[in-house]
Amino acid sequence: MAVERTFSIIKPDATARNLTGAINAMIEQGGLRIVAQKRLCISLPQARKFYAVHKERPFFNDLVDFMVSGPVVVQVLEGDNAIAKYRELMGATDPAKAAPGTIRKAHAKSIQENSVHGSDAPETAVKEIAQFFSDNEIVG
């Protein structure tokens, strides 16, 4: 199995409830290593760029407003099959449909305020990581 990197965001609903440590524990217990991490406030242009793929969706403006509503923790996670592994650990987008034991089942508030983001493919992971980290900030 290939060692991969994926991009993660602990979203504002989770930082507001002081859940960074609880989510990081689930990430580490799930077999992923946090090889870069910083807490910051995403700017409006950054959020619009990050979610540009969803710009025609009815929830786009609400999603962008939510992502700039408070601090986030951006992360790079590393491990075997990290992209798929983290998607599985996050659970379904809608917490009502998320499997037991997943981050979203445990912590998400709604389909929008769903606590975490994870890249969906290798090309997206590379782009998303580069949007927030330089190479020397990632230490495996």
**Contacting residues toward ligand GDP, per CB under 6 A:** 59, 62-63, 93, 111-112, 114, 117, 120
Q: Between 51 and 138, whose beta carbon lies closer to ligand GDP?
A: 51
Q: Between 102 and 114, whose beta carbon lies closer to ligand GDP?
A: 114
Give the Cα separation of 128 and 130 in Å (integer). Answer: 5
Residues 6+ apart with CB under 8 A from 23: 10, 14, 103, 107, 115, 116
Residues 6+ apart with CB under 8 A from 93: 104, 111, 114
Q: Between 101 and 137, whose beta carbon lies closer to ligand GDP?
A: 101
> Smallest distance, Å, CB 110 to ligand GDP?
7
- Residues carrying an active site annotation: 117
